[in-house]
Chains A and B, each alone.
Chain A
Amino acid sequence: MISAENISFGYDSRNIIENLSFRFDAGDLVAIVGPNGVGKSTLFELMCGNFKPRRGVVTLDGRPVGAYSHKQLATKLAVVRQEFIPPFGFTVYETVMMARTQYFDSFGFETQKDMDITARYLDITQVSHLAARRLDQISGGERQRVFIARALAQETPIILLDEPTSFLDMKHQVGIYDLLKRMQVEDKKTIVTIIHDINLAGQYCDKVMLLGGGSNYLLGKPSEIFTKENIKRFYDVDSVTGRVGDIDIFMPVGVRARTRAEAVV
């Protein structure tokens, strides 16, 4: 369980996040959405304890994030950030194994258990065949899977992801969210992810937090949050809506299409 009570945070005198409260329960798959610059990534850093809120408190299982030691926190919460490739050629296997570092034996080497866990998550994320390849030699989609495998190998109840699919094609986007859904259902993980694509958020997530900057935000079920009016209000974009089953799909409509539509009318 991860929750926040009236948190505020800003980089200068202005608070980019103001009086924000939420509660995500165990087994929730939550999407954080909103336009650029409204504090999605800031909220992300507040949740994983890298930033301290100016006011209010973020708690993990009832205890403030700041009260955990680094090691304790790493047993509660794993993070997938926007991808960074280190300048040294670590292999896929080495990268995923790093998640187990704090469980290594006293000589700093992995135990059989760590190897089993690493192998398991390489398998689940379908990157086993790449284990010996270097991170800079695989595709963006594969790399994102590797970083997800690394987060899973930490075996934490909570996983936070910052736009895990931003550079991926449709197939790989769906692949990643199918995987996250499976982790949520099978392992009862709490998953909180920043998403730009509200249609994917609507398909996969149980809860949506739509941020608009400052104290302006909405929290609820996708069907309640994703409405034409809210999208106009938060994104300042007109959209057309379609319905597939019980899921609403949104298409942004630009000036060009709009003027044409009006001409037809």
Chain B
Amino acid sequence: MLLLAVTVVVCLFIGSKDISMANVYAGITGSDAGNADYTILFKIRLPRCILAAIVGASLAVSGAVLQALLRNPLADPYILGISSGAGLGAMLAAITGLQISVMGISTMGLFAFIGAIGTVWLVWWIGIMAGSRQLTSLLLAGVVVNSFFSAVIMFLTSVMDSSSLQTTMLWLMGNMRDSGSGDIVLSVICLAGAMAVLYRLSPQLNILSFGHDDAQTMGVNVAFVRLVSFATAAFITSVAVSLSGLIGFIGLIIPHAVRLLCGPDHRQLLPICGISGAIFLVVCDTFARTVIAPQQVPVGIITAITGGPFFLILLVKYSRKVSMGSK
């Protein structure tokens, strides 16, 4: 937690414009309330950092939960079709050009959120129809729905006009946008609630890693735990996606990296994932806005470029003690 706070503060002061402490202080005390340094720090950089922290934490935690539920080390937050559902939602928003705004959330975010939740619900429903005991059918449903929606997205891309194409492509690549304080308060509440729920279920998630039958005979209400944790993970992923677009990789590698270092016990894993996911994305986003400043790189690209090699180093270094899913 402390590390996260330090990271946020450090990243606040890194940027395309140097900020003078004196001016900021003057802004806080009110002696020079309107100065540019103060405004940049508190009105632009701080919300963006907090947003990055929320999104990073959400994706990492939800990735860890889905890996446990599906007993699949390759699972990530987008595996049940959230990414394509959200993408389709965002695309529809761009095409129709609708401007609806609820509680300060942008049209695109709103549509993405609806698309994501709708898709997860659809996949879950198909999975249930195909037999609730088989996780494979749920995974397959996710993959098929994902590629179907991706095809629709491709089709829409090919017929779209170029200006809305640019917006949606940027969105699809994952981008920290400037957002209002309404967004932030709302999503902090969502994340805190979801974390509390998931943390309560974390001992049960441990047992579920051993499979449906074992969990059942050790006193876990499997159907209940699965439903609640799936829904919660899907919910925070959808929130994250609607805030920032599709940021890949965090949900896959952060849980693995944390597991390599701290072990698979979910009671530790979930909080540590949350914090390290947050730190990782805050750092990546700082890179994203400074590397080719004043231009910005979509943060999704940074996460993949820096995260990939970092993860591979971890994997090789610890591989003697670790096998990634032997069975």
> Chain B residues in contact with chain A, CB under 8 A?
67-68, 71-73, 199-200, 202-204, 206-207, 209-211, 213-214, 216-222, 259, 263-265, 267, 321-327
Contacts and interface: CB of A to CB of B under 8 A. Distances in A.
Given A101-B203, A104-B203, A87 B218 contact: no
* Range of interface residues on A (Cβ < 8 Å): 20 to 34
A84 interface: yes
A70 B220 contact: yes
Given A48-B217, A88-B209, 17 more contacts: A70-B219, A70-B220, A74-B218, A77-B217, A78-B217, A79-B217, A87-B326, A88-B73, A89-B264, A89-B321, A89-B323, A94-B206, A94-B264, A98-B218, A101-B206, A102-B218, A108-B199
Interface string A90-106: 11001100110110100
A90 B210 CA distance: 10
A77 B216 CA distance: 11
A75 interface: yes
Contacts of A77: 217
Contact of A94 (B72, B213, B216, B265): B265
26 contacts: A50-B217, A70-B221, A70-B222, A73-B219, A74-B219, A79-B214, A81-B213, A86-B210, A87-B72, A87-B209, A88-B73, A89-B263, A89-B264, A94-B206, A94-B263, A94-B264, A99-B218, A101-B203, A101-B206, A101-B219, A102-B218, A108-B203, A108-B267, A136-B323, A136-B326, A154-B218
Contacts of A71: 219, 221
A261 interface: no
A91 B265 CA distance: 9
A89 B327 CA distance: 11
Given A70-B221, A77-B217, A89-B259, A84 B324 contact: no
Given A87-B71, A90-B206, A90-B209, A75 B217 contact: no
Contacts of A98: 203, 206-207, 210, 218
Contacts of B200: 108
A109 B219 contact: no
B48 to A, nearest CB: 34
Given A85-B326, A86-B209, A101-B207, A91 B217 contact: no
Contacts of A134: 321
Nearest to A150: B218
Contacts of A81: 213-214
Nearest to B220: A70
Nearest to A156: B217
